[in-house]
Amino acid sequence: MPTERLRRLGRGIRTALGSRLARRQVRLVLIVALGVGWLLSALQIAVDYRAYRDSLTTQLDQLVTTTLSTAAAAAWQLDGQLARVVCEGLTAHPAIDGCVLRLPGPLSLGETRVEPATTWLPLSDGLFGGRQRRELPLRHEGPKAIGRLALDLNPASAVNDFSRRVLTHLLTGTLRALVLALVLFAVFHVLTLRPITRLSRFLSDADPGAAGVELTRPARHRHDDEIRSLETATLGLMQTVSRQMADLKAAKRDLEHTNRHLEDRIRARTRELEQAMRVMRDRAYTDPLTGLANRRAFFEAAADYLARWRRDGEAFAVVLADLDEFKAINDRLGHDLGDRALQAVADGWRRTCRQDDCIARFGGEEFIGLFRVDDRDQAREVAERLRREVAALRLEDLPWSLTVSLGVALVGPGDEAIDGLVTRADQALYRAKRGGRNRVEDDAAG
């Protein structure tokens, strides 16, 4: 049973000293207790020193006073044996290590000396007045001195005895301070440190954000004081934080769910907008009747062709085409058949042209195209292929065959804008019309 108590005490001490607050408290209590203990010891030493000094002085004064009459009688009677007895009696005192009874002049009647004592405590030679010599006059039935009694005072024995008392006081004061520190620390530990350490450990181990974990109150504190109120308030605060964190997590989940739906809606709307923009762009750059590029698309593509021509020397040709007798189709057979004829021509040319070629409806029955070629002959071959494609078309309700006249303009060193090429292609087309239609002319003749 005592062994188990000692084990619990050891565990309690290790737990207490494992706390930084406890270690700081131990240091503070120890410093204060030692300071108080040593201060009390210093006061006690000072009081003891005064009492010891007064006692020593009184003893010496009484001894000398009682001995002076005998010494005076020895000097009056010139009794050397009595003088030696007087000196031996005086040197028997531990504070006197020398005695001389002198007559007038250099004569001495008796002298006794003993081995002088030494102090063992450093810096203590000056206590109780230190070494000194006292000479007292000897008188016999008159005021005239008949001799002197010289005493060598050495308080070393008293100093050594007092030094032992000082060390005893200091040791006792230190032990009292240590006991006081232990008692104070035990009281502080029970009343303050232990509940604060328990509360700190509770706060460190508790996780208000852990789902499904109920916060429990720390172990019961046996004093109903501010620390208990602090534990109650802390538990309430942590429970509030736990509830708020649960609400925040739920709100976060709802927000993430809303964000996911919002992101899906944004992506869907973005796709819709991109599709709508593509449709609008297609409508802005596409002829609605034939599905070919329109004038705007043609001029933007022409700027790219010109840039490549100036940068890389990639030659190209502009082909301007006009359907022959198209006005007669609209006037005699109706606009519906004219629209079908335009659509058929556009479909045929779309199948014939390469991916890099650009064919656009220029307006009415006019078409215009951009074709990458190496020379003028290849440009005329492209235009001839377009002409043959139209000549091979057969439209229901159209009593004659469709034909087309084409003008070709090849880009040259002096071409800085597409307008000049279009103008030359238009002039070549005019010559094709004037030359009998259903033919190809280029800008070389111009």
Query: Does the model's pTM come out above 0.85?
Result: no
User: What pLDDT, on the 0 to 100 scale, is given for residue 127?
Assistant: 80
What does the buried/exposed string (b/e) look like for 106-122 if buried means 16 or more CB atoms within 10 Å of the residue's CB?
eebbbebeeeebebeee
128-148 pLDDT, tens per residue?
Answer: 778 888 888 988 777 888 888
The most confident of 53-62, 128-137, 168-177, 359-368, by mean pLDDT: 359-368
Judged against a pLDDT cut of 80, whether residue 318 lies above it is answered with: yes
Backbone angles phi, psi at 232, to 5 degrees: -65, -45
Would you say residue 214 has pLDDT above 70?
no
What is the reported pLDDT for 161?
82
pLDDT score, position 407: 96
401: pLDDT strictly greater than 80: yes
Rounded to whole angstroms, how far apart are CA atoms 391 and 386?
9
In this prediction, residue 238 carries a pLDDT of 74
Q: Looking at the predicted structure, is the pLDDT value of residue 347 above 60?
A: yes
Residue 8 has pLDDT above 90, yes or no: no
- What count of other Cβ atoms lies within 10 Å of the Cβ of residue 39? 12
d(C-alpha 112, C-alpha 114), whole Å: 7
Question: To 10 degrees, what angle do helices 20-77 and 80-91 make?
Answer: 170
Residue 207's pLDDT is 65
Closest CA relative to residue 110, chosen from 118, 101, 119: 101
Q: pLDDT at position 213, please?
A: 56
Q: Give yes or no for residue 229 having a pLDDT over 80.
A: no
Q: What average pLDDT does this structure show over 316-336?
A: 91
The pLDDT of 105-116, averaged and rounded, is 82
d(CA 180, CA 213): 44
How would DSSP label each residue in 283-305?
Answer: HHHB-TTT-SB-HHHHHHHHHHH
Q: Evaluate the CA torsion angle 352, 354, 357, 360 in order and state its sign.
A: positive
The fraction of the chain above a pLDDT of 90, given in percent, is 27
CA distance 228 to 195: 8
Q: pLDDT band at residue 106, thresholds of 50, 70 and 90?
A: confident
Within 373-437, strands assigned E span: 404-410
Are 316 and 305 a contacting pair, CB within 8 Å?
Answer: yes
Q: What's the whole-number mean pLDDT along residues 229-237?
A: 73
